[in-house]
Amino acid sequence: MTTPESQPVPSTATSHPLRILITGSAGFVGSHLVERFLNEGHTVIGVDNYISGQVSNTDLFRDHPRFTFIEADVSHGIPYTGDKLDWVMHFASPASPPHYQQFPVETLMVGAQGTQNGLELAHAHGAGFFLASTSEVYGDPHVHPQPETYWGNVNPIGVRSCYDEAKRYAEAITMAYHRSRGVNTRIIRIFNTYGPRMRPDDGRVITNFVHQALRGEPLTVYGDGSQTRSFQYIDDLVEGISRLMMVKYHEPVNLGNPDEFTMLELVKNIERLVQVSLNYTLSPLPLDDPRQRRPDINIASTKLSWRPTMSLNDGLSIIILQYKNPTK
């Protein structure tokens, strides 16, 4: 008797060779997708303008025979003239508050014009279009945990709105192209994700805390430390993306770890792993910073047979070791 658990899981690992264009390929998530798809035998075209991506991430794959890189700002167009594409994956955007608040206009443009340019390219090639959206579309949520049916609580003119509203618009235009022009679309809402290849100045809490801890500095805790986040390791996110590509489901899907931690609990976790007593300082909570964030992953579990497998302690151990030995 075949049970749901014994059925093969759809994945790009089981697909025929694909030609995949990834915007934001030099970014944290984008570079891990490039690696995954090349290892599976697919051909990858990376596109990035390095506004928040890293040249070092492109250099990892530059000599690979199935990797091509195009340096371009996708907000102004995607200068691809090669063979027929199977997928256009739009992962280009500053994603941490310090970066998107430094580049608010560019962030809005890549969410708006960049998304439309990706959709037009996918439409022209008869390719699938995959949008990286974010849990930030939920804003400071009044519903907890957050299901995909929740419309969110976003300040449309606040300091975070350049990112939040760019992604909300990107979702809207993606669904419009699917409904009116038949583009085969996917949308994911990514919850806090961490792992190797994050920029040292990323500005999100795990990179901040780990670097401060390793330097022997007090950790900067915003607010009173009671606000919560759910932390997902990069390999779990990439696995969810791979599975969704092979499943015909067009509405948004949350990809995140439902294990929820306060900021003070995160301090304690890092303290145990670095085996040093850590001090912390309290700073005012940034404007519009969400008080709580945790995904409802029922759709991902049901449609993709997906759940994250990396615990926070195991994931933190990996990046602490990497930060201690950056050349390994």
CATH number at residue 68: 3.40.50.720
Q: 52 in a domain, yes or no? A: yes
In a domain, 99, yes or no: yes
What does the pLDDT look like over 132-173, one tens digit per residue?
999 999 999 999 999 999 999 999 999 999 999 999 999 999
Residue 102 forms part of a structural domain: yes
The per-residue pLDDT for 6 is 46
> Tell me, what's the pLDDT at 84?
98
Helix axes 104-125 and 161-181, enclosed angle (nearest 10):
20
- Asked if residue 323 belongs to a domain, the reply is no
Question: 253 in a domain, yes or no?
Answer: yes
Tokens 């945790």 -> residue: 294
- List, as one string, the DSSP characters of 137-149: GGBS-SSSSB-TT
Given 100, 138, 163, 280, the catalytic residue = 163
Query: Which of 30-34, 181-185, 265-269, 323-327 is least confident?
Result: 323-327
Beta strands 19-23 and 43-48 are parallel
Mean predicted lDDT score pLDDT of the chain: 94
217 located within any domain: no
Q: Tell me what pLDDT residue 7 has.
A: 57
Distance of alpha carbon 118 from the chain centroid: 17
Q: Using a pLDDT cut of 70, give the percent of the chain over it.
A: 97
Question: From CA 104, how far away is CA 86, in angstroms rounded?
Answer: 31
- Residue 210 placed within a domain: no
Q: Given this model, what pLDDT does residue 328 score?
A: 54
User: Cβ distance 255 to 232 under 8 Å?
Assistant: yes
Q: Which domain holds residue 68?
A: 17-195+232-258+294-309
* Among the ranges given (25-39, 222-236, 313-327), the one the predictor scored with the smallest mean pLDDT: 313-327
For 10, half-sphere exposure in the C-beta direction (CA atoms, 13 angstrom radius) is 13
Give me the pLDDT at residue 247, please.
97
What is the band of 311 on the pLDDT scale with cuts at 50, 70, 90? very high
* Total domains present in the chain: 1
Average pLDDT over residues 76-102: 94
Q: Is 163 a catalytic residue?
A: yes
- C-alpha span between 102 and 108 (Å, rounded): 12
d(CA 307, CA 318): 20
Q: 199-203, 252-256, 287-291, 293-297: lowest mean pLDDT where?
A: 199-203
Flag whether 269 is in a domain.
Answer: no
At residue 46, does pLDDT exceed 90? Answer: yes
How high is the pLDDT of residue 1?
A: 34
pLDDT of the residue at 96: 83
pLDDT tens for 183-209 read 999 999 999 999 999 888 888 899 999
